[in-house]
């Protein structure tokens, strides 16, 4: 017996006596009927609640939402309305945030290889600060300044030289990293001195981000201790401690809560004088559990003595995480949410790769049939934002649901969209 842990579902999820799942007061099957599948569904109340939890834990104007986790106009506005700043990691994310109506002064620019154009756009939009990642970037900002652009507020991204327990592809705090100025080889101090002496930047702080989907608060405490040490040795007003708080993806998995994360960071920064500003940059922990993906089953193939394959109408194009990181998920039929899931199957996508696996070893209720729906919960982060058109599959629509009403906030791509850029 394995029913879905309620912690994997958005906060307004309800299951009626017949086992039918609703989010925000709307049956998931009704949304699939109205908007088609695959479909990304976000619980708006859950999103707002996570933003509020973060602001309550870290303070007003101290939470910067990492838009790479999930960005569209509606999400940018929601985070902005809830008082979060926006971390944009490219000119494209900056454009999307500005296009959504968020002012540049509420955005922070990131990136380990920002182009001159991206820097120019950020300075022109008067972003809150730019997190400078390299000496080459400082050269570019100095050149832009010599051409007449104002000196931006900047923080310097420091690589503190700590290891975290997460997938190698999303560990960013170790010495062997493409990101930031290494503390251990002296680059960090050289960058601080250079920025302090430069008229082209206003150095306001230092920054670190040690990795993503970090489940051990001890990892944050280690990095924080290193950063606080450095911060107290330089007289700067701002410190950013990055994002990275992990979430539970599967039954039985546990993740620190927002307030547990905040407690660890607060303890680790307790020596910092109150007038200094300490920021965090959560992405995944704001949006992951708010979102789920609804697929329709297309084929069921049993190979005696080997396994059963269930193919759904999406796959690696709407959720590349299983393929990239071997990430695990749960799956269930939203028409029988409370059913015992007793069958081991492999859920796969519709793409031309054997590696196009949604769930390698999934437990589902018996007798799944073509036409049934399958939901994978906790797909709100790094799903839509990493989606592709592989095999010319149109990307799914995104729906926000609240108070009994579902609204499409990103429309499903059409076949015409797939050839729009052909010349
Ligand atoms: C600089 C920076 N800040 C914040 C984040 C957000 O991380 P997460 O989504 O794990 O909270 C990332 C993600 O890679 C990042 O690179």
* Cα dihedral across residues 107, 79, 246, 204: positive or negative: positive
Enumerate the β-bridge partners of residue 154: 130, 203
Order across the sheet with 21-23: list the strands.
14-15, 21-23, 26-27
285 CB near ligand 1 (under 6 Å)? yes
Pocket test for ligand 1, best of 206, 239, 243 (most atoms within 8 A of CB): 243
Q: State which ligand 1 atom lies nearest to the alpha carbon of 245.
A: 11
Tell how far the Cα of 243 is from the centroid of ligand 1, in angstroms. Answer: 5
Confidence of residue 168 (pLDDT cuts 50, 70, 90): confident
Q: What is the pLDDT of residue 173?
A: 76
Q: What is the pLDDT of residue 336?
A: 96
How much of the chain, in percent, has pLDDT values that exceed 90?
Answer: 95
Looking at the predicted structure, is the pLDDT value of residue 200 above 70?
Answer: yes
241 CB near ligand 1 (under 6 Å)? no
Taking only the tens place, the pLDDT of each residue in 337-357 is 999 999 999 999 999 999 999
Question: What letter does residue 388 receive in the DSSP assignment?
Answer: -
> Tokens in use for 202?
């206003």
Enumerate the β-bridge partners of residue 311: 299, 348
282 CB near ligand 1 (under 6 Å)? yes
Q: CB within 8 A of 331, min separation 6: which ones?
A: 347, 358, 359, 362, 364, 374, 375, 376
Taking only the tens place, the pLDDT of each residue in 265-281 is 999 999 999 999 999 99
- DSSP for 267-336 reads HHTTTS-TTSEEEB--SHHHHTTTEEEEEEEEEEEEETTTEEEEEES--TTT--HHHHH------B-TTS
Q: What is the pLDDT of residue 169?
A: 78
> What structural domains and CATH numbers belong to the chain?
6-43+289-413 (2.40.37.10), 44-287 (3.20.20.10)
For residue 240, the number of C-alpha atoms closer than 13 Å in the C-beta half-sphere is 34
Strand pairing category for 26-27 and 21-23? antiparallel
133 CB near ligand 1 (under 6 Å)? no
């Amino acid at each position: 017996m394995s029913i879905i842990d309620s912690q994997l579902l958005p906060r307004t999820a309800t299951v009626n006596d017949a086992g039918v799942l609703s989010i925000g007061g709307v049956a998931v099957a009704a949304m699939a009927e109205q908007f088609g599948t695959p479909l990304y569904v976000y619980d708006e109340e859950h999103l707002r609640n996570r933003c509020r939890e973060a602001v309550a834990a870290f303070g007003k104007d101290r939470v910067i939402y990492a838009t790479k986790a999930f960005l569209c106009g509606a999400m940018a506005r929601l985070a902005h309305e809830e008082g979060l700043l926006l971390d944009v990691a490219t000119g494209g994310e900056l454009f999307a945030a500005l296009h959504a109506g968020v002012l540049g002064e509420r955005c922070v620019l990131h990136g380990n290889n920002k182009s001159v154009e991206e820097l120019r756009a950020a300075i022109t939009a008067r972003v809150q600060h730019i997190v400078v990642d390299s000496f080459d970037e400082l050269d570019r900002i100095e050149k832009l300044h010599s051409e007449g652009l104002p000196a931006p507020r900047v923080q310097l991204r420091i690589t503190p030289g700590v290891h975290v327990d997460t997938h190698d592809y999303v560990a960013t705090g170790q010495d062997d990293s493409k990101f930031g100025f290494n503390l251990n080889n002296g680059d960090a101090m050289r960058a601080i001195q250079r920025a302090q002496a430069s008229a082209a930047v206003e150095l306001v702080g230092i920054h670190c981000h040690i990795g993503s989907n970090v489940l051990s608060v001890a990892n944050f405490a280690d990095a924080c201790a290193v950063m606080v040490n450095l911060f107290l040795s330089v007289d700067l007003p701002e410190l950013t401690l990055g994002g990275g708080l992990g979430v539970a993806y599967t039954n039985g998995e546990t993740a620190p809560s927002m307030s547990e994360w905040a407690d660890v960071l607060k303890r680790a920064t307790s020596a910092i004088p109150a007038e200094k500003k300490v920021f965090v940059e959560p992405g995944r922990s704001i949006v992951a559990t708010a979102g789920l993906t609804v697929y329709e089953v297309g084929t069921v193939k049993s190979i005696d003595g080997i396994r059963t394959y269930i193919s759904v109408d999406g796959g690696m194009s709407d959720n590349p995480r299983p393929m990239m990181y071997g990430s695990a998920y749960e799956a269930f039929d939203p028409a029988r949410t409370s059913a015992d899931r007793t069958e081991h199957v492999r859920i796969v996508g519709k793409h031309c790769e054997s590696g196009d696996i949604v769930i390698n070893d999934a437990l589902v209720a018996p007798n799944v049939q073509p036409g049934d729906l399958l939901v994978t919960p906790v797909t709100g982060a790094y799903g839509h934002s990493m989606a592709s058109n592989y095999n010319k599959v149109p990307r799914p629509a995104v729906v926000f649901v609240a108070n009994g009403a579902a609204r499409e906030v990103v429309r499903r791509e059409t076949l015409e969209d797939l050839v729009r850029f052909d010349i």
